[in-house]
Chains A and B, each alone.
Chain A
């Protein structure tokens, strides 16, 4: 139990970066970008190929980010210069990326990384040497947890990386450029009347969004120990589910809060799916069903709670009014 939740949180923190990317396209730019399913794999594929060619892991990951950025800008160019509608631009790019990813991977559909040095094997090495894992595990054992995680390095470092990316995103969205990007998604006509090139902003925004998605893919591939041509299927829904779940739990009062919400959403999503799959009547094939169900809940429940609160408030007001009328009669 502890181990599987631990694993869920671990992968949730990696998916949180994807969710932040999806947040930028869907929420900030108001652009339903389906490139994600392809650019996630692009990230994993570029990193995997680079690593198998003995390129240092950090550099391999940076290359993946760059590849994702390019993919995103291409979707942006299709939409703004080619005047193709947003959904279709994303679908076209996603479709093209399938073949491009296969090319990147050298015409094989799976690159194993289990015997390679990845960011995570390096981290694990460092942590074991520093004795942090043994210390943390002994604490857990003394708390009565029987099976302890192999390493804490992944979780801790990924949490740190995700946090840094969140902070950079927060900052960027408050810069002069970031404000213009947000206004582009909010009121395009207005921001054009303030001398902003909305085409360029959209292209850059989609580039950044897919750069994050590719980073998430690159890290996930190294975490899981392979890059697979089909590992991106449904990623857009996972990203969207994370955004929606997080927003409904944490709220969207400010940018800082919303990006935090997105990260929480990604982790909660993973944990809930993991728990659901542990029940006896659901199996891995039901994952998509669970995902849809979660998103529906996240969309409907907050509204129901609001309505309920509103009704309660009104009833209270009415009662008070009736009381007062009675008193004066």
Chain B
């Protein structure tokens, strides 16, 4: 479904600020894979997501989605295949527009945008049904401005919008990190539900190791721009936080330097 081949990316090449963010990344996701991604700060997780979604172009290597090479496809075109939820709850929705207008935008993702009304009676029903799956009562607030929603509600709406039109791939970059624990749990559960129901091929970055272990069928660990661990199936089921930390130490010869990850 998704393949990242030989991808390397260096920021500010040839300057004192030079930073090798991705080094020879090889990653292949089968249809329906739900992969969680962990790794210390600056490991290159967000950069990898940005290369997949087309925000950044890799220096070398390429990205294919459903057998199609998309490396040179601009971000807005690639978005037709990719649903995304960002870390910042403000980033995934348009605050001055209403809930139904935001959903209408998501609805048009893989279609040509025309001069027909974005919100029609028929669509409104579809939107209501979809919102009801969030169990937040948003289906009764279709005309509320999204800017008035709480961070958790906005993130739930973002998740719904990202998955609304069945994209080929779902990218989640620490999408629960900016929420308080109870809301983070709500979004985590929603994510599990949505991915199970839609069977979306998903890549989820998280700092919360427990979350990375609980969710998905596969886990990868990144460090210094490389994928240093890739476990799936039974092996992943058997993983614990201690084993993960031990694995990191075995591979890197040093302790993982990320308190947030351990505590998370």
Q: Which residues of A contact B (CB under 8 A)?
A: 171-172, 174-180, 182-183, 186-187, 189-198
Contacts and interface: CB of A to CB of B under 8 A. Distances in A.
Nearest to A175: B115
Nearest to B101: A179
A195 B114 contact: no
Contact of A191 (B77, B105, B119): B105
B97 A179 contact: yes
Interface string B75-109: 11101101010100011111111000100111011
B116 interface: yes
Given A176-B104, A177-B115, A179-B105, A195 B110 contact: yes
B104 A195 contact: no
Nearest to B147: A186
> Interface extent on B, as a size class?
20 to 34
Nearest to A186: B94
B117 interface: yes
Contacts of A172: 115
Contacts of A176: 104, 108, 111, 113-118
Contacts of A177: 113-115
B118 A194 contact: no
B104 A182 contact: no
Of the listed residues B82, B91, B101, B111, the one surrounded by the most CB atoms of chain A closer than 10 A to its CB is: B101
Contacts of B75: 192-193
Of the listed residues B76, B77, B80, B114, the one surrounded by the most CB atoms of chain A closer than 10 A to its CB is: B76
Contacts of A175: 113-118
A189 B50 CA distance: 12
Binding site secondary structure of chain B: loop
Contact of B97 (A186, A189, A193): A186
A186 B79 contact: no
24 contacts: A175-B117, A175-B118, A176-B104, A176-B111, A176-B117, A178-B118, A179-B97, A179-B104, A180-B105, A180-B108, A180-B113, A182-B97, A182-B101, A183-B105, A187-B90, A187-B91, A189-B91, A193-B53, A193-B79, A193-B82, A193-B92, A194-B79, A195-B108, A196-B76
Contacts of A198: 76
Of the listed residues B80, B95, B114, B118, the one surrounded by the most CB atoms of chain A closer than 10 A to its CB is: B118
Nearest to A199: B76
Binding site secondary structure of chain A: helix
Contacts of B94: 182-183, 186-187, 190-191
A192 B82 CA distance: 11
Contacts, number: 86
Interface string B200-216: 00000000000000000
Nearest to A192: B76
A82 B160 CA distance: 35
Nearest to A183: B94
A198 B105 CA distance: 13
Contacts of B113: 175-177, 179-180, 196
A191 B102 CA distance: 10
B118 A195 contact: no
Given A174-B118, A176-B115, A179-B105, A190 B79 contact: no
A180 B104 CA distance: 9
A176 B119 CA distance: 8
Contact of B76 (A171, A174, A197): A197
B76 A187 contact: no
Nearest to A30: B96
A189 B77 CA distance: 13
Contact of A193 (B84, B104, B110, B114): B84
A178 B118 CA distance: 8
Of the listed residues A187, A190, A193, the one surrounded by the most CB atoms of chain B closer than 10 A to its CB is: A193
Of the listed residues B80, B105, B114, the one surrounded by the most CB atoms of chain A closer than 10 A to its CB is: B105
Nearest to A27: B96
B95 A186 contact: yes
Contacts of A197: 76
B179 to A, nearest CB: 18
Nearest to A201: B113
B99 to A, nearest CB: 13
Task: State the 9 A-B residue pairs at the shortest beta-carbon distance, nearest first.
Answer: A195-B79, A176-B113, A179-B118, A183-B94, A186-B94, A195-B80, A176-B118, A187-B94, A194-B109
A79 to B, nearest CB: 17
B79 A183 contact: no
A187 B95 contact: yes
Nearest to A187: B94
A178 B116 CA distance: 9
Contacts of A180: 105, 108, 113
B168 to A, nearest CB: 12
